[in-house]
Amino acid sequence: MDEITLTEVAADEITVEKSLLSEITVDEISVDPSPEDEISKIETAKIETLKIETLKEETMTDTTLSDKTLPVEIAGSDTEAGKPRKARVPAALAKERLVETTISLLRTEPFYEVTTRRITREAGLPLAALSRNFGSLPGLFDAVAHALVKSFTDQFSEYGPLDALTNPDLVLRTRLVAWSIGQGADPSIFRPDPSAWSRIGVERQQRLAGVDERMGTAWAEIVTFVLEGYAIFSQTHGLNNQQTFEDCITVMSELQKSLKTLEAQLGWDQPAS
């Protein structure tokens, strides 16, 4: 048996070690972290945990405040960030509230200051409530004008012949319509409801003058123009003089008495052929 030399044994051991090392992958090699790395990881974990706990506390606080202070949101509301949501209001109630608020503002404020934002804020409604219910500010003013006329006509029988000249509802309605048209609104949207103002006016003129519908309609329109002109321009004319004012009323009264005769002269009292 041949003797194995020390040199040969050493060579074989080196070969085996190289073979084993070549089979070890990089992933299998682990390096023990230093104490400094372990401390850094622990501190980072503590910081992240603290952030999470803080965020939870803030979220719980916001939820509690919301539950106590925020009413139910209107479907499709335009609530601005950071402001309380508006309570749900039925459409009919929203319309009524917008009209009443607008009338109240128009009685005390210059018309140009009665804006969409001002009205909705005073009414406690979201900004979009006006457009959803009336389409536009002129649309709301039209509803206001009709409401003012209705307020007058509902008690028409209680008024004397001169009350229409000074009735605050009719005066406000006339001035609002004139101002809106001057601002570019379509005049046709302010036409009175034939079943209300015009009809009542015609019937009253027919009754007082004893004339038929044709003459009653013509006279009612003339009186309406006089009333509207007086509401807008009375302070720019001599009608502020009491005597002049009374003279004008006397003339109008005498003209009304002569309508029956005028109707006959025009042949309007004859049945239509």
pLDDT, position 131: 95
212 within domain boundaries: yes
CA 28 to chain centre: 71
Question: Of 3 and 127, which is predicted with more confidence?
Answer: 127
Write down the mean pLDDT value for the chain. Answer: 74
Centre a 10 Å sphere on the Cβ of residue 190 and count the other Cβ atoms it contains: 19
124 within domain boundaries: yes
Are 238 and 189 members of one domain? yes
Contact 112, 175 (CB under 8 A): no
pTM of the model: 0.61
Centre a 10 Å sphere on the Cβ of residue 134 and count the other Cβ atoms it contains: 21
Looking at residue 177, its amino acid is V
Question: Of 78 and 101, which is predicted with more confidence?
Answer: 101
pLDDT, position 64: 35
Are 173 and 147 members of one domain? yes
Between helix 213-233 and helix 199-209 the angle, nearest 10°, is 110
Question: Of 272 and 136, which is predicted with more confidence?
Answer: 136
Are 140 and 260 members of one domain? yes
Among candidate residues 179, 200, 201, the one with its CA nearest the CA of residue 190 = 179
| Gap between the Cα atoms of 180 and 134, Å rounded | 15
Are 183 and 65 members of one domain? no
**pLDDT tens column, 176-223:** 999 999 999 999 888 766 555 556 666 766 676 788 888 888 888 888
Query: Among residues 110, 135, 160, which one ends one of the domains?
Result: 135
CA 171 to chain centre: 25
Contacts of residue 174, defined as CB under 8 A and 6 or more positions apart, other chains included, come to 227, 228, 231, 232
Are 207 and 127 members of one domain? no
Stretch 71-90: mean pLDDT, rounded?
A: 54
- Domain range for 76 is 61-135
First CA to last CA across the chain, in angstroms?
155
20 confidence band (pLDDT: 50, 70, 90): very low
pLDDT, position 26: 41
**pLDDT tens column, 97-144:** 999 999 999 999 999 999 999 999 999 999 999 999 999 999 999 999
Contacts of residue 75, defined as CB under 8 A and 6 or more positions apart, other chains included, come to 88
52 within domain boundaries: no
pLDDT, position 98: 98
pLDDT at 49 over 70: no
Are 123 and 175 members of one domain? no
9 within domain boundaries: no
| Gap between the Cα atoms of 68 and 74, Å rounded | 17
Are 147 and 110 members of one domain? no
Contact 97, 89 (CB under 8 A): yes
Are 244 and 145 members of one domain? yes
Look at the chain and report how many structural domains it folds into: 2
Are 156 and 258 members of one domain? yes
Rounded to 5°, angle at Cα 267 from 261 and 268? 85
pLDDT, position 264: 93
Question: Of 94 and 236, which is predicted with more confidence?
Answer: 94
| Gap between the Cα atoms of 76 and 97, Å rounded | 19
Are 171 and 118 members of one domain? no
Q: Write phi, then psi, for 175 (nearest 5 degrees).
A: -65, -40
